[in-house]
Amino acid sequence: MTRSQRQARLLALIVPLALLAGAWSFQLWGGLFPCEMCLWQRWPHYAAILVAALAFMMPPRVTKGLVGIAALLIAISGVIAVYHAGVEYRWWHGVTACTGTLDLAGLTPAQRLDRIMGTPVVPCDVAQWTLGGISLAGFNALISLGTAATIAILLGKRR
């Protein structure tokens, strides 16, 4: 296994671990509860960690493929994060069940109650935290897509 492949394997494990540690820290100690789309972004990172960890246990001939799969999973989280950030910045509409709008006009009382009870507590279209105008979803997009690209470059290097 080449040095660049070892670096790619390490990145594929460490970056999703760090991003999830950050997300859980914001949730547990920062009081920022995830919306539905925040949770969607976490699933590919969980899977990437499992695949990257497996790459450390497999023979070198299998490792490159597993690291490539981990990079793809990291990129998928990044794409979901781009979509989520776009919803937060009002560039496009999110999925109806995940936005903060609640239209009750023309509904019966029972339908209104159902709509209220089905509305998420944490809306996906409101950034709970930003730094320099970039939301957590925006940071996930930048870091995840950048990491996936870096892993792809490292895996593509020749000896």
Domain locations in the chain? 3-156
Backbone angles phi, psi at 99, to 5 degrees: -100, 165
Contact 140, 56 (CB under 8 A): no
Contact 58, 5 (CB under 8 A): no
Q: What is the rounded CA–CA span in Å between residue 76 and residue 16? A: 12
Identify the pLDDT of residue 101: 60
Identify the pLDDT of residue 159: 66
Q: Does residue 102 carry a pLDDT above 70?
A: no
- The pTM is what? 0.85
On the 0-12 / 13-18 / 19+ scale of CB atoms within 10 A, 111 is exposed
